[in-house]
Structures are given as structure tokens and as C-alpha cells.
Amino acid sequence: MLHKEGIYKSNLPVRALMDELDALARLDKESEEKISFWSKIRTTLIVLGLSLFIFGLVIGVFLLVPGIISIVIGCIIHFSTLRTLRKNEFPDYRYSTCQKLVGLLSADMDNYSEVETQVNLREKFGLNDKIEKGTKGNSTWNRRSTSDCFLSLSGLFLDGTKFRCSLTEETQAYGEHFPYRALSGKTKTKLKANKRIRWVGSLRLRFKEKRYSSSPTESQQIENLIQMPNGTKIKKLQVNDQELLMTAVTETNKQKNKVKMSTNIPAAWDDMEVDDNSADFTERARLTRNIEVNTQVYITLRQQFELNKIEELKERPVLNILDTGDIATEKSKPLRTLIVLATTFIAFFFSGFMMYCYDGIIIKEKQE
């Protein structure tokens, strides 16, 4: 079984997980086709059985038995076959969103790295959900607030960063039914219901110790660098040396429903199922992709920055320059005045010495 009571859980490598999600999508599509086929047969048998039964009452008793048999078979298909098939029929967006996220995350993961996955394929009501009932004048109202975390993924990136992302569907539903008097004078019942839905996406990254350092200034700049699609906004962003935590929310999707001659408010809420192909879900899927893409951009830039700092340290020379040379404004050498004086003094001294020696030698020769 790919799921248990509408909940899919696994801890598989990326490729094996994608294969199981594809199998889950095929199971859903096959169930939808079978439900459509058997629903037509059920409707045909019940309509045919009622027709035979009515004609049997008018024309002859021999038509009653085939009519009853046809109705019974139609009821068996409705309460047995279709109920079994609906166990494998889910909203497409729940597993398709998981497929897109896993495909995006796998770009930075090892093929053998395991991903812990949990997908709630059907809407689940938890203990923290609030359900209120009451009356107001002639009207009876119900209010329901739910928070359904339908997708959770956790694993390990190639650089050792641990990630955990989740998507939560928050719903606030309100409905009331009240009697009113029609133009014919009869008292009838009208039901009004509305539902508000938004998605909350959260992403947590835990880095290796001191691998990606971050300053408060950088943390403030990250939010400005993240591009969010229309209708979405960042609710919370925290970054430190070891962890990045981001939460984003979509705008509230409002739906309304009006039903006459009914007092079943939960059934009116169920009739307002969100279209899987609506623009809101496309926008939400784009939000999820942008969260992951921008986070990976940040991680890549931080990693590149750290590598560049290491390379810069390697290229730094061993000798440090304490001071740099400047161009002189005045000549300091040679000292021309000192050279002239010294040369003149030496010349006079040498000349006097030579004259003294010459005179002494000549005088001695004459005396002899």
C-alpha cells in the first residue's frame, strides 16, 4: 500500500521517492477514471430500476422484479464499489506539490540521500482545531478553524546542511441556515456558507557549525534580496551562524456557497473544494519554489564568499609592507654647499702643503 488511511509516509532515497510519488499519482488518476465509470453505471441502473418499477406498477408485476434488482445493484455499487475506490482518490495538489518540491531539492542532494516524507492526502482535523456551534435569532450557525500540515520534508544537502520544509493549510469556515417565507407563502430553509483558505510555508536550514557566518546587517538584507510572487509575503525570517528559518504566507482565498432547503453546513463546506487547477494553487506552488530557490541562492553565495576568503588568505604574501614610499617635494642629496666648501678647503690645504714641501727641499739644496 502506498498510503495508510490517506497518509503517505516514507524515508527513501530521492529517486525511489520520486518513483513512489509517480505511482501515487497514477493510482489517483486510475481511481478517478474508475469512479467516473462506475458512477455512470450506478446512475443508469438506479434510473432504469425506478423506471421499471413505476412501469411495473402500471403495466404489470413482471417488471417489478427487474426494477428492484437494478436498484439493488446500483445501491451496492454506490455503497461498496465507489466507497472502496474513493479511498485512493485524493486532491491532486497535495501529492503534485510534493513532487515539485522533491524535484527541486534533489538538485542539491545525493541520489542516495534519504528524504523523510509525510503527505496528508486528505484533509485531516486535529485536536487543536476549533469547532463552534450556536444560534442567533432564528438562524443556526457553525464555525470551524483548522490547521492541516499536509506536507513535511526533511533531509540532507550535499554540503551537509540539514533542511526541513512544511506546508500548512489554514482554513476558517463559517455557515448558517435560517428559515424564510417564500413568495408562495411556504416556509423554506436557506443556507449560507463561506470558507477562507491560506497556505503557510516554512523552511528551516541548519548549517554545519560556523560554516556560513552571518551578521545582523546581512540578515536584514536577505529579505530584500528574496523575490516573492504577487499575493504572498514573508511572515518571519531569522538567520544566524547555524540556522536559517523562513515562514511565508499566501493571501486568503475566499469561497462562498448558498444552498436552499438544506441544513447540512459541513456538506456545504465540502462542496467548496478548491480547484486543483486554479490560479491560487499555481501561485502557491510558485511561492514554494521561490522559497527553495532563494534559499539555495543564499547558501550558494555564502559558500562562494567563504571560499573566496580562503583563497584570498592563501594568496596573501609572507612579507608585510609596513609603509609605502612617497615622492620627495625637495632634494635631500647631494649637499652642494658642503661639497664646495669641503673641496675649497682641501684645495687650499693641499696647495699650502705642496708649497711648504717645495720651499723646504729647494732651500736645503741651495745651502748644501
pLDDT digits (tens, 9 = 90+) for 65-107: 888 899 999 999 999 999 888 888 888 888 888 988 888 888 8
pLDDT of 296: 65
Q: Where is pLDDT greater, at 335 or 256?
A: 256
pLDDT of 17: 92
Half-sphere exposure of 135 (CA within 13 A, CB side): 5
- Label residue 115 exposed, middle or buried (CB < 10 Å: 0-12, 13-18, 19+): buried
Residue whose C-alpha is closest to residue 199's, from 97, 305, 67: 97
Residue whose C-alpha is closest to residue 109's, from 161, 58, 149: 161
Q: Answer whether residue 272 shows pLDDT above 90.
A: no
Supply the DSSP symbol for 63.
Answer: G
3-state SS, residue 127: coil
3-state SS, residue 59: coil
Would the pTM count as exceeding 0.85?
Answer: no
**Cα–chain center distance at 346:** 93
Q: Answer whether residue 21 shows pLDDT above 60.
A: yes
Give the amino acid at 322: L
Query: Between vectors from CA 94 to CA 90 and to CA 97, what angle results, nearest 5°?
Result: 145
Residue whose C-alpha is closest to residue 173's, from 250, 271, 244: 271
Distances in whole angstroms, Cα of residue 340 to Cα of each of 12, 275, 353? 95, 105, 20
The whole-angstrom separation of Cα 276 and Cα 119 is 16
Q: Respond yes or no on whether the N-terminal peptide bond of residue 334 is cis (omega within 30° of 0).
A: yes
Give the mean model confidence (pLDDT) for residues 179-198. Answer: 86
